[in-house]
Amino acid sequence: MNPADTPRSNTALVVRVDARQCEVLLDGDIRPALLRGRLFEERGSDKSPVAVGDSVTISYENDDIAIDAVQERRNVFSRRVAGEDYDLRQVLATNVDQVLVVNSVDVPPFSSIVADRILTTCSFAGIPSVLVLNKIDRAKPRKLERIRSSYTAAKIEVLLTSAVTGEGIESLLAVLRDQTSVLYGLSGVGKSTLMNYIDPTLKLETRETSNSLMSGRHTTSHSRWYPLAVGGAVIDTPGVRKFRPFGIPPHELRLHFAEMLELGSGCRFPACLHRDEPGCKVIEARDHGDLALSRYRSYLELLEELESVYGGTGRNEVKDGPDHKARR
Taking only the tens place, the pLDDT of each residue in 174-185 is: 999 999 999 999
Question: Both 204 and 284 in a single domain?
Answer: no
What CATH number has the domain bearing residue 296? 1.10.40.50
Q: What is the pLDDT of residue 311?
A: 87
Cis amide linkage into residue 108, ω under 30° from 0? yes
Which of 227, 205, 207 has the alpha carbon at shortest distance from 217? 207
* Among candidate residues 149, 139, 142, the one with its CA nearest the CA of residue 190: 139
Look at residue 90 and give its three-state secondary structure. Answer: strand
Whether 221 is in a domain gets the answer yes
Are residues 137 and 13 located together in one domain of the fold? Answer: no
Alpha-carbon dihedral sign for residues 177, 179, 185, 188: positive
Residue 225 lies in a domain: yes
Which pLDDT does position 62 carry in this prediction? 82
Instruction: Determine how many CB atoms are found less than 10 A away from the CB of residue 226.
Output: 16
| Residues 92, 231 share a domain | yes
Q: What is the CATH number of the domain that holds 137?
A: 3.40.50.300
What does the pLDDT read at residue 219? 47
Contact 187, 217 (CB under 8 A): yes
8 A C-beta contact, residue 14 and residue 24: yes
Residue 1 within a domain: no
pLDDT of residue 84: 64
Q: Is residue 112 part of a domain?
A: yes
List, as one string, the DSSP characters of 118-144: HHHHHHHHT--EEEEEE-GGGS-HHHH
**Which residues are CB-contacts of 309 (< 8 A; sequence separation ≥ 6)?**
80, 86, 316, 318, 319, 320, 321
Among 81, 140, 154, smallest CA distance to 105 is for 140
Same structural domain, 282 and 295: yes
Give how many domains the chain has, as a whole number. Answer: 3
* Residues 108, 216 within the same domain: yes
The reported pLDDT for the residue numbered 59 is: 94
Instruction: Give Cα 33 distance to the centre of its chain.
Output: 25
Kindly give the parts of the chain with pLDDT less than 50: 1-3, 209-220, 314-328
Element (H, E) at 15: strand 11-18
Residue 175 is assigned to a structural domain of this protein:
yes
What pLDDT does 205 receive? 72
Residues 107 and 224 in one domain: yes
88 and 61 in a common domain: no
Domain boundary (236, 264, 292) is at 236
Residue 242 is assigned to a structural domain of this protein: no
Quote the pTM value: 0.87
Asked whether residue 226 falls in the same domain as residue 259, the answer is no
Q: Is residue 307 within 8 Å of 320, Cβ to Cβ?
A: no
- Identify the domain containing residue 265 by its residue range: 250-310
Indicate whether 126 and 260 sit together in one domain. no
Q: Are residues 81 and 127 in the same domain?
A: yes
Domain boundary among 214, 236, 258: 236
Looking at the fold, whether 207 and 301 belong to one and the same domain comes out as no
Position 18 in a domain: yes
| CATH label of the domain that carries residue 32 | 2.40.50.140
Which of 179, 208, 236 finishes a domain? 236
Q: DSSP letters along 143-195, please?
A: HHHHHHHHHHTTT-EEEE--TTT-TTHHHHHHHHTTEEEEEE-BTTSSHHHHH
Contact 169, 141 (CB under 8 A): no
Same domain assignment for residues 88 and 229? yes
Q: Residue 319 domain-assigned?
A: no
Cα–Cα distances (Å) from 233 to 52, 150, 180, 268, 319, in that order, read 12, 29, 5, 46, 37
